[in-house]
Structure 1
Amino acid sequence: MRNFRKALLILILPLFAFAAAHKFYVSVTNVNYSEKDRAIQITSRIFIDDMNRLMMARYDIDAELDTEKESKLADEYLEKYVRSKFVVSLNGQPIQYNFIGKKYDADVMICYIEVADVNLKELKSVAIENEILTDLFDDQQNVVHINIKDEKKSFVLLKSRTKGMLNL
């Protein structure tokens, strides 16, 4: 009986170790229209540790986000990365946006983006292409929620499918 318990423990223990080692890679992006500001306002929530790993792998900087030793280059490289991996298209045309900045909330970094001077009456479609972290993590999932003109749509973007659209 004693050997049976040892054998069972030896078989089960690696399963727990694997479960603890596996990580779920996800970001959540909300896209809303502000009538007051006549702008599309976007927030994207990304795990800080994932972004730290990306900064090291892609730019060879130890960003140390949300610490007293945060790199002075972190904001510059973060904006550069977001602009290369996150595209907003209105009525089928890619559009320039303002990268407003970031803040931290527990273990998450929140990025703020705004598309200014959007005429809601002329808006027929909003498309989001989000490849953030898909170059580092093959199983990265970027969840996007769009809420404009009382129309709502959510989608999960993957490395193999990086674009989602809401027709208005």
Structure 2
Amino acid sequence: MHKFYMSVTHIKFVPKQEVLQITMRLFIDDLQFELNTLNKTTIELATDREPKKIDSIYMNYLSNNFSVEVNKLPKNLTFIGKEYDSDMAVFYLEIPKIKEIKNIRIENNILNKSFTDQKNIVKFNINQKQKSFILIKDKLIALINY
């Protein structure tokens, strides 16, 4: 385990495609620890022993710990895929059928159950405006009005 605990999430609105693109980067060892603790399992991530159903395990975890509201309406995440980059798990998600964004609300509880000093950085690129938040266990929500 390392001495700092963080994730980085990029959220980008692509108006021409009417889609909200989400890229999330987490340390593999932290994610493995959290999943095993919550599910009382001993899975190994990013190895040849990784469960075949890992994508559904990931989607279940992400859906339960990361939520998005656009224009005050809850939105479902679509899991596009994942890859491993060195010691990071990178998740690609999106929310289709978004015509415009007047406000967006993110609740990010990723890895907070296992690591009390977890910091979840959320970077927005919406309507040609960039904004960043650092979310912690006591402040899980980022809200922006446009």
Contact 2:121 2:133 in 1 (8 A): yes
Please, which of 98, 101, 104 is the counterpart of residue 118 of structure 1? 98
The separation in 2 between residues aligned to 1:148 and 1:22, in whole angstroms, is: 33
The separation in 1 between residues aligned to 2:111 and 2:8, in whole angstroms, is: 12
* Paired position in structure 1 for 2:9: 29
* Paired position in structure 2 for 1:135: 113
CA-to-aligned-CA distance 1:14-68 (integer Å, 9 cap, x gap) = xxxxxxx761000000000123421000000000000111121011222211111
> 5 Å matches for 1:3-152?
23-120=3-100, 123-152=101-130
Q: Matched residue of 2:36: which SS?
A: helix
List, as ranges, runs of 4+ consecutive aligned residues in structure 1 with deviation greater than 6 Å.
none
The separation in 2 between residues aligned to 1:86 and 1:147, in whole angstroms, is: 18
Question: Measured at CA, do residues 36 and 63 of structure 1 come closer, stay the same or move farther in structure 2, by a change above 3 Å?
Answer: farther
Q: Which has the higher strand share?
A: 2
Question: Measured at CA, do residues 22 and 52 of structure 1 come closer, stay the same or move farther in structure 2, by a change above 3 Å?
Answer: closer
Question: Measured at CA, do residues 155 and 52 of structure 1 come closer, stay the same or move farther in structure 2, by a change above 3 Å?
Answer: same
The separation in 2 between residues aligned to 1:145 and 1:165, in whole angstroms, is: 12
The separation in 2 between residues aligned to 1:22 and 1:109, in whole angstroms, is: 16
Q: Matched residue of 1:51: which SS?
A: helix
The separation in 2 between residues aligned to 1:36 and 1:63, in whole angstroms, is: 40
Contact 1:63 1:74 in 2 (8 A): no
Q: Which has the higher helix share?
A: 1
CA-to-aligned-CA distance 1:95-124 (integer Å, 9 cap, x gap) = 11212221111100011110101102xx21
Equivalent residue pairs, number: 146
The separation in 2 between residues aligned to 1:61 and 1:75, in whole angstroms, is: 16
| Ranges in structure 2 where 5+ consecutive residues have no aligned partner | none
